[in-house]
């Protein structure tokens, strides 16, 4: 796989693959593999078993990255060459709870379509600045009554909102976090 940004190779990115066609948990070590890109932006994933895989590209220090569009099916012994141009878009959202309350200072989590998450901070004026790849996302408040151990998995989440990130940035100007 070759990874570029605006046509230039990107070294030292992690390319991760998760098998989506198995019955067991997608978090099982048997269903995942990864490789770093070299100085030419090339990564080789050598342990892909027969099946359907979803790929993502991310910085080594941040598992939250960009999902490569689509899923890829590999047969036994098949060699597949892929090229991906990684691009991100900056944008700003206003974030409120359903009752109109501000969320500044509260713990918020941004989740991508595959469940990867990272904590984000809303500014005191209620805005959230992000730089994301095009795709579907969810923003959620941490359920403050619950305990959260990052090693266990996804945090216990409270009110949330789904949104799309487009080539122009967020698909909406304001997110209203609703639900339990």
Residue 149, C-beta contacts closer than 8 angstroms, at least 6 positions apart: none
Residue 117, token pair as written in the block: 């998450």
- CA dist 162 and 137 (Å) reads 6
Q: What angle do CA 150, 32, 36 make, to 5 degrees?
A: 90
CA 115 → CA 22, 139, 174, distances in Å? Answer: 17, 11, 22
Q: Is 100:179 a contact under the CB 8 Å cutoff?
A: no
pLDDT along the chain (180 residues), means of 10: 86 86 58 89 85 82 68 79 83 92 85 81 90 87 69 72 90 88
Query: What pLDDT does 7 receive?
Result: 84
Closest CA to 65 of 115, 20, 11: 115
């Amino acid at each position: 796989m070759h990874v570029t940004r605006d046509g230039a190779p990107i070294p030292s990115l992690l390319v991760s693959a998760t098998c989506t066609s198995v019955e067991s948990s997608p978090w099982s070590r048997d269903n995942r593999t990864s490789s770093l890109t070299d100085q030419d932006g090339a990564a080789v994933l050598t342990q892909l078993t027969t099946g359907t895989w979803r790929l993502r590209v991310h910085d080594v220090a941040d598992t939250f990255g960009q999902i490569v569009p689509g899923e890829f099916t590999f047969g036994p012994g098949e060699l597949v060459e892929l090229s991906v141009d990684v691009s991100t878009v900056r944008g700003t959202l206003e974030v409120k709870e359903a009752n109109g309350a501000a969320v500044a200072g509260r713990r918020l989590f941004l989740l991508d379509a595959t469940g990867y998450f990272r904590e984000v901070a809303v500014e005191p004026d209620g805005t959230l600045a992000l730089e994301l790849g095009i795709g579907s996302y969810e923003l959620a408040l941490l359920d403050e009554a619950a305990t959260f151990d990052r090693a266990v998995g996804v945090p216990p989440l409270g009110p949330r909102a789904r949104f799309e990130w487009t080539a122009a940035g967020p698909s909406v100007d304001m997110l209203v976090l609703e639900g339990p």
